[in-house]
Amino acid sequence: MAETQQVLNSSNEEESPEQKTSRSRRRRFKASNMSFEEMVEMVDILKRADYDGKYLPYLNPNVRKAKIMTKIVKSLRQNFGVQRSKEQFRKRWSDLKLREQDQYRRIKKVLLKSDVQVVVPKSSHFTSDSAQRLIQEIMFCSTWTLSRKKQGD
């Protein structure tokens, strides 16, 4: 029994330097919880880019997904100052869809509300005179339409 334990200890010592060198070559980021805002940003990018390929068949889906994940990494680094790996984002996306469906629904609701666009006039000089002219044109068009309908009767 002591011999088998000694053999196990020696084999663990031999394997550990190899593991350390392979890990040191790879860039590792510390796993940490994502804030709700970070998840909203990630889901927004993934949905807009059709990450899951629901709408079109893609020739190289893995290459495309890698590019989308790179975009997410850059966006979250710029907007929130966090640095995570692509694998962490893939895992988080999978968890949201499969395990945390309530959280995913909340994120989708936030995204739906933010998709409402406010119409801003192109001209920054929207004065009361131009508003008055616009109202007159609308009234003219509506009275003209009414008069045309009466003539048709």
> Would residue 43 count as lying in a domain?
yes
- Check: pTM over 0.75? Answer yes or no: no
* Model confidence band, residue 11 (pLDDT cutoffs 50, 70, 90): very low
**Across 12-16, 48-52, 60-64, 99-103, least confident range:** 12-16
Work out how many domains the chain is built from and give that number: 1
> Would residue 35 count as lying in a domain?
yes
DSSP the chain: -HHHHHHHHHHHHHHHHHHHHHHHHS------PPPHHHHHHHHHHHHHTTTT-SSS--SSHHHHHHHHHHHHHHHHHHHH-----HHHHHHHHHHHHHT-HHHHHHHHHHHHHHTPPPP--S-S---HHHHHHHHHHHHHHHHHHHHHHHHH-
Q: 134 pLDDT exceeds 90?
A: no
| Domain extent at residue 101 | 29-114
pLDDT given for residue 16 in this prediction:
43
> Would residue 129 count as lying in a domain?
no
Q: 151 pLDDT exceeds 50?
A: yes
> Would residue 148 count as lying in a domain?
no
